Amino acid sequence: MPTLTFRFYQELNDFLPRPLKQRSFARQFAVLGSIKDAIESLGVPHTEVDLILVNGESVNFGFHPDDGDRISVYPLFEALDISSVTRLRPHPLRESRFVLDCHLGRLARYLRMLGFDSLFYGECSDARLVEISVQEQRILLTRDLELLKRKALTHAYYVRTTRPLNQVTEVVKRLQLQNSFQPFSRCTVCNGQLAKVAKEEVWSEVPANSRHAFSEFARCTRCGRIYWKGSHFERMQRLVKKLKAV
């Protein structure tokens, strides 16, 4: 059977079993299809790949390798000068907007707190998530590897960690979002934008113990929820400062 030799670099090793990490290894195939299919058969989704070299030459996802080829696979944001080779990722989106799968609700709230337009649905089919990502030019965030293998996807990221605070730290660092924060500009519940309102406009809707303690209020333009700088605000400010420094 035809054999290909692979070497995956940096965080692409996250998707490989321990014996295959950080080393070259050979794999046999009954039939050689596209290089994309070969890579994804090893568990690495194409949305995580930015550069493929076959015998030292850059190729695209549709390339069909031959028996004996040596394949080097590099991730997004790899610090290499590859200006003269075939970049596989589209140009970065002008604005970082997201759609998240049904397992990442807390992460969606954190991203909204930072000011990022982040769609989240409790129930949404994989096909619909891909459609939203492509049509609205949103980065799909997911922990579903099979979802990331959908051919139509161009901007997506596999969230490695499971705890929400670790997830937002990972996403901010990995996607280099530190300079794009607009904290406390979105509703963390529905993703609507917040607009300042006079105290008099929301007086009857604010708890009695907060009416005189705070002077600045905002209302979500979508769901109508009211926000003010309560006891949790300083804790959230510390988190924003910490995330900007990752």
How far is it, in rounded angstroms, from Cα 124 to Cα 141?
A: 13
Query: How far is CA 123 from its chain centroid?
Result: 19
Residue 192 in any domain: the answer is no
CA Rg, the chain, in Å? 22
How much of the chain, in percent, has pLDDT values that exceed 90? 78
- For residue 29, the enclosing domain spans 3-75
Please check the confidence at residue 94 and state whether its pLDDT lies above 50: yes
Residue 146 in any domain: the answer is yes
- By the 8 A CB rule, do 46 and 16 touch? no
Nearest Cα residue to 43 out of 127, 146, 158, 156: 146
**Domain CATH number, residue 19:** 3.10.20.30
Contacts of 92 (CB under 8 A, 6+ apart): none
**Domain CATH number, residue 117:** 3.40.50
Do 43 and 110 lie in a common domain? no
Last residue of a domain, one of 125, 159, 174: 174
Interval 112-125 mean pLDDT: 96
Do 8 and 67 lie in a common domain? yes
Do 71 and 7 lie in a common domain? yes
pLDDT at 79: 40
pLDDT band at 81 (very low <50, low <70, confident <90, very high): very low
Last residue of a domain, one of 174, 208, 226: 174
Residue 212 in any domain: the answer is no
Please check the confidence at residue 208 and state whether its pLDDT lies above 80: no
- By the 8 A CB rule, do 229 and 183 touch? no
Do 63 and 102 lie in a common domain? no
Contacts of 126 (CB under 8 A, 6+ apart): 144, 146, 147, 150
Tally of domains within the chain: 2
Q: Are strands 98-100 and 139-142 parallel, antiparallel or unpaired?
A: parallel
Do 120 and 53 lie in a common domain? no
Please check the confidence at residue 90 and state whether its pLDDT lies above 70: no
Residue 219 in any domain: the answer is no
Residue 196 in any domain: the answer is no
pLDDT band at 78 (very low <50, low <70, confident <90, very high): very low
Residue 59 in any domain: the answer is yes
Residue 14 in any domain: the answer is yes
Q: How many CB atoms lie within 10 A of CB 224?
A: 12
Last residue of a domain, one of 134, 159, 174: 174
Cross-strand pairs, 227? 218
How much of the chain, in percent, has pLDDT values that exceed 70? 93
Please check the confidence at residue 26 and state whether its pLDDT lies above 70: yes
Residue 190 in any domain: the answer is no
Q: Per residue, what are the HEC states of the chain?
A: CCEEEEEECHHHHHHCCHHHCCCCEEEECCCCCCHHHHHHHCCCCHHHEEEEEECCEEECCCCCCCCCCEEEEEECCCCCCCCCCCCCCCCCCCCCCEEECCCCHHHHHHHHHCCCCEEECCCCCHHHHHHHHHHCCCEEEECCHHHHCCCCCCCEEECCCCCHHHHHHHHHHHCCCHHHCCCCCECCCCCCEEEEECHHHHHHHCCHHHHCCCCCEEEECCCCCEEECCCCHHHHHHHHHHHHCC
